Copies of this chain bind each other. A is one copy, B any other.
Amino acid sequence: MIVILKQNSDKERVDRLMQHFKDMGLTIHYSQGENTTIFGLVGDTTKLDEGDIMAYDVVERVQRVTEPFKAVNRKFHHEDTVIEVAGRRIGAGYFNVMAGPCSVESEAQIVEVAEAVKRAGASFLRGGAFKPRTSPYSFQGLEDEGLKLLLEAKRQTGLPVVTEIMSEKHLDLFADVDIIQLGARNMQNFMLLKELGRSDKPILLKRGLSATMEEFLMAAEYIFAGGNTNVILCERGIRTFEKMIRNNLDISAVPLVKIFSHLPVIVDPSHAAGRRDMVQPLSRAAIAAGADGLIIEAHNDPKNALCDGAQSLDLPQFDAVMQDIRRRAAFEGREMMPQ
């Protein structure tokens, strides 16, 4: 951490600030220029908060030198993390496709979709039981019942499942779920992050709509801090000024995760654009950029879907996209799960 002091600062106040840093166990490198005095703070600065330091009126500016995340930082964990779940490996070149409907609607629907996406080569079944909806008047998911149907589809097809949690109170309900998804709107629901940190389930952490990459990695750090190191990151589009599409897939997120972290990262091309015809090109871009997998919406009957029909592939479309994905994963030298 670099602390730049205001010109002509009162010496006594500067000394008090130096003492404050020393009390925190930090070493100070003091550099006195003509117009500028600089402190370089050495030691564990993850506990320091820029805002706190800025409160000292002798301080002009503060600049972090090292990233505020530690446990998820590649600097301190050079190898790619591989998460093993239900016989699948996620990360480090293993490639997984998670597919299924936006929401679970009935046993017939979820089983039909599960069978189809399994046949097409998906390694996980996704499906929403608890649905975050902008409007209280929109369909909110089948909730507990939806979860049961999803697990029934798992039983019938053998596909492990990934589904979204929306409340700390529901954790027990998710006991048989294979991967728990934390949605974009809850990426900084810190209580839920802490709760998931105490779990040992793999967590699919979706990036918030306007979360910086640093905040995204800090959310993963929360889960790690609780003891759960099974975190899969998911880029799903960010909010910008653009109006033609719902969100802008931030393809840079994929290589940035690979540079700064050891965690697996997958991409959601369905929610990113909100348009069916963008799923294939965005999937291709994600694979080429180095993503460890994809999560894709597929429905047996998109036009009667109870949510987000505009972005769902129908089953033949999904099958075609999967063939393309497999060809591309092979080109990239990635191993498709499951074997």
Contact = CB atoms under 8 A, between A and B. Distances in A.
Interface of A: 2, 4, 27, 29-36, 38, 40, 42, 46-47, 49-57, 60-61, 63, 65-66, 68, 132-140, 166-169, 185-186, 188-191, 194, 209-210, 212-215, 218, 221-222, 225-226, 238-245, 248-252, 254-256, 258-260, 272-274, 277-278, 281-282, 284-290, 302-312, 328, 331
A210 B212 contact: no
Contacts of A286: 285
Given A34-B42, A137-B46, A303-B56, A241 B255 contact: no
Contact of A213 (B61, B210, B244, B285): B244
A252 B238 contact: no
Nearest to A52: B309
Quick one: copies of this chain in the complex?
4
A260 B278 CA distance: 12
Given A27-B33, A49-B135, A185-B188, 13 more contacts: A27-B34, A31-B31, A31-B38, A38-B38, A38-B40, A52-B308, A53-B310, A55-B309, A136-B225, A248-B252, A252-B272, A284-B289, A285-B289
A65 B61 contact: yes
Contacts of A274: 51
Contact of A54 (B66, B254, B310): B310
Given A2-B2, A29-B33, A134 B251 contact: no
